[in-house]
Each structure stands twice: as C-alpha cells, then as structure tokens.
Structure 1
Amino acid sequence: MATYRLTQAGHELNYGFRRHARLALEALGPTFTKEQALEKLSVLQDLGQLGKGTPKSFWRRFACLGAHAKRKAFIELAPH
C-alpha cells in the first residue's frame, strides 16, 4: 500500500481551508495512506471546514496540482 507525506510546501499552508486540511493530515503522522487522508478530509467536510471542495478534490489538488499559482504539490509519495 502506498504511503504519502506532506511536502515542505504542504507544511507551510497557513490560510483558509487548506490550513484545516494541512492540520488534519499532520494529525495522521509523518506518513499516511490515501484512504486515511480521505477519511480525515471527509470529517472536515462534515464539519463545514473544507469549503466547497470534496475530500477527493482536495486530494487531487494537494497531490497533483498544488498551489494554483506556484504549482507545487503539497503531498508526495513517501520513500520506502
């Protein structure tokens, strides 16, 4: 099973809904699976702390697209 971790750019998220998502993912520990992350993000969605996004859309933006202007991924595959 693939494990992921936050990149340096991911640890620096300190604004809005991205900050909430960062804090939730950091609570999972240094590495986490996609399923764990989606579960944590769905809790945020239930609490209204994820904005208009869904857990899957946040995962996609965090892992693939990164910041809209800087295009840095916030999540990367952890080395084995």
Structure 2
Amino acid sequence: MASSCKQVKGKKSWPELVGAPGQTATSVIESENQKVDAIVVEEGDFVSTDIRCDRVRVFVDANNVVKKVPKVG
C-alpha cells in the first residue's frame, strides 16, 4: 500500500476476497469502506500507475475470480 494513503480512514485491504467473484468483491469493499470506489480490472488490462486513495482495483481473471488482494491505492 502506498505510504501516501496511510491517512485513509477505514479498512484498506481485503485479503479474504481472493477467490471471490469480482462483483461480490466490489460490493463488499464499498460496504466496508464508503470512502472508496472499487473497480473490477481484468488481468492483463492496462491500468494507470497513479496512486489514488479513494480507489480499490479488484483484479480478476477471465472467469471473474479475484486473483490479487484488493487494497487502497
């Protein structure tokens, strides 16, 4: 997690969602921390390298299964 996001209030990481469906993960993330937007990203898609403390990327495989721990940044 980026050090610039340490001031973010609420939950910042969701390791328990690895293996879950992408849309389920986004719903859980946004319900547990209303200060972030969760976005599903398919593995291999281009993503910017900017750090945003109000965003959680949910990386999924071709079967829409979460493959990486979703976290703020």
* TM-score, normalising length: structure 1: 0.38
**Higher share in helix:** 1
